[in-house]
């Protein structure tokens, strides 16, 4: 189906990236899932072909486009191919924008070219053992001592944590100032006292390493502070709508992948002497799946249009994240059921969609938090 959202140049970019996925990701993704990690060479290859950090200015090696639709293409094609462990959107859409928005000239010169090339892999460290969706509950500290900060604390559930060269760490630079005492610092691989813990065993997204990070008196140069001290919470709140929209985009594409796989299965699989698709109940389920996908696509495309126009609100992004993630899980569940016993086998993509999608209702802010954000707006009379 042709979507009015995209122009011919976006579709040309999609064709090129889809070829990259089919050539360099799909044949190896199963092995990466077993290894719990994606080789650095894949990042470098994506960077060489212009598939990372497209919005970075040409002065730092990027293409300089601020058209978010290119980011959408990347997220959709990865999800449609069920190679969900490839963390390009995390790097391009979520982490590197902190460097482009809040980094100074020296920081951009130091880090952005490597991020564009895929030589530097980025991560963001927000969650802690006792603080997830409630970012005001973080305990990691970064205390200024002359020309450096002394960072102490622990982070967990950090995507790309095992391989990241640059980690944007959310820390308290003034523990007595509440959310106004939170800042963002870039911790670099190799800094003394920065240790990576185990790669966590998840029920899905196996190819994407998710790790614990530990900071023991890590001396982080003051030059690695992003933006202003004490403004970190504000920076996070300003960036979260894009992160949540990114999750919604991938969720709708994952749901479409589940629908495509299930429809193909129902055309071929026989039960009770006829194709599954000939059974009325099966057709009803497929109708529900398609309707869910199309409703989600329409709303997400509307949100993308609003983002490009600078009009996407926190509440709208929260609606998209909440509804589309739950919809994607619902569609994957329907698909798994129609696959029968095969749907429970990890070798089948429908099973991976079911397990991979589940975390989307948790990360980026749990869906209960999304509902609270929306509900507050309604009660305030601004909805």
DSSP 340: G
Query: Residues 33, 128, 243, 326: which is the catalytic one?
Result: 243
CB neighbour list of residue 337: distance below 8 Å, 6 or more residues apart: 285, 343
SS3 (DSSP) at 312: coil
At 113-163, the pLDDT tens digits run 999 999 999 999 999 998 777 777 899 999 999 999 999 999 999 999 999
- Predicted local confidence at residue 1, as pLDDT: 59
Alpha-carbon separation of residue 148 from 143, 230, 235 (angstroms):
8, 16, 21
Q: Which CATH superfamily is domain 233-379 in?
A: Butyryl-CoA Dehydrogenase, subunit A, domain 3 (1.20.140.10)
Residue 290 burial (10 A CB sphere; 0-12, 13-18, 19+): middle
Residue extents of the structural domains in the chain: 8-120, 123-230, 233-379
Residue 67, class by beta-carbon neighbours within 10 Å (0-12 exposed, 13-18 middle, 19+ buried)? middle
Strands (E), 70-173: 122-125, 141-145, 148-159, 166-172
Closest-CA residue to 10 (of 49, 65, 62, 52): 65
* Superfamily designation of domain 8-120: Acyl-CoA dehydrogenase/oxidase, N-terminal domain (1.10.540.10)
Q: Residue 253 in contact with residue 76, Cβ under 8 Å?
A: yes
pLDDT in tens, 23-65: 999 999 999 999 989 999 999 999 999 999 999 999 999 999 9
pLDDT band at 271 (very low <50, low <70, confident <90, very high): confident
- Considering only CA atoms, which of 258, 274, 272 is closest in space to residue 338? 258
* Two structure tokens written together for 278: 């000939």
pTM: 0.94
When the pLDDT of each residue in the chain is averaged and rounded to a whole number, the result is: 95
Residue carrying the six token digits 């449609």:
80
Annotated active-site residue 228? The verdict is no
237: CB partners within 8 A, 6+ apart: 314
- Chain center to CA of 367: 15
Across 349-361, average pLDDT: 96
Domain 123-230 CATH class label = mainly beta
First-to-last alpha carbon distance for the chain, in angstroms, is: 32
Q: Using alpha carbons only, what angle is made at residue 41 by residues 36 and 44, rounded to the nearest 5 degrees?
A: 125
């Amino acid at each position: 189906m042709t979507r009015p959202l995209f122009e011919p140049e976006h579709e040309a970019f999609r064709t090129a990236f889809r070829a990259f996925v089919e050539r360099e990701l799909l044949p190896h993704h199963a092995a990466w899932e077993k290894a719990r990690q994606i080789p650095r060479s894949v990042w470098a290859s994506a960077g060489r072909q212009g598939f990372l950090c497209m919005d970075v200015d040409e002065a730092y090696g990027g293409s300089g486009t601020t058209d978010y639709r290119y980011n959408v293409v990347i997220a959709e094609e990865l999800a449609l191919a069920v190679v969900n462990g490839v963390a390009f959107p995390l790097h391009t859409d979520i982490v590197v924008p902190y460097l482009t928005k809040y980094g100074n000239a020296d920081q951009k010169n130091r880090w952005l070219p490597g991020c564009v090339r895929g030589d530097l892999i980025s991560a963001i460290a927000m969650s802690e053992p006792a603080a997830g969706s409630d970012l005001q509950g973080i305990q990691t500290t970064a205390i200024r001592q002359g020309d450096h900060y002394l960072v102490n604390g622990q982070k967990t559930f950090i995507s790309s944590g095992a391989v990241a060269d640059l980690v944007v760490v959310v820390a308290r630079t003034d523990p007595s100032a509440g959310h106004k005492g939170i800042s963002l610092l870039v911790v670099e691989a190799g800094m003394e006292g920065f240790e990576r813990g185990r790669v966590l065993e998840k029920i899905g997204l196996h190819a994407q390493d998710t790790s614990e990070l530990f900071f023991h008196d890590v001396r982080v140069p003051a030059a690695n502070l992003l933006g202003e001290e004490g403004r970190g919470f504000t920076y996070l709140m300003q960036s979260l709508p894009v992160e949540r929209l990114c999750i919604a985009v991938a969720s709708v594409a994952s749901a479409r992948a589940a629908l495509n796989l299930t429809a193909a299965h129902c055309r071929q699989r026989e039960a009770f002497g006829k194709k599954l698709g000939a059974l009325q109940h099966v057709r009803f389920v497929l109708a529900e799946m398609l309707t869910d996908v199309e409703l989600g696509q329409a709303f997400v495309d509307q949100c993308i249009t609003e983002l490009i126009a600078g009009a996407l609100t926190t509440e709208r992004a929260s609606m998209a994240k909440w509804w589309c993630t739950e919809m994607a899980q619902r569609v994957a569940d329907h698909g798994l059921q129609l696959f029968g016993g095969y749907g429970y086998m990890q070798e089948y993509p429908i099973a991976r969609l079911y397990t991979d999608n589940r975390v989307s209702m948790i990360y980026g802010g749990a869906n209960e938090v999304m509902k609270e954000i929306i509900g507050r707006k309604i009660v305030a009379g601004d909805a």
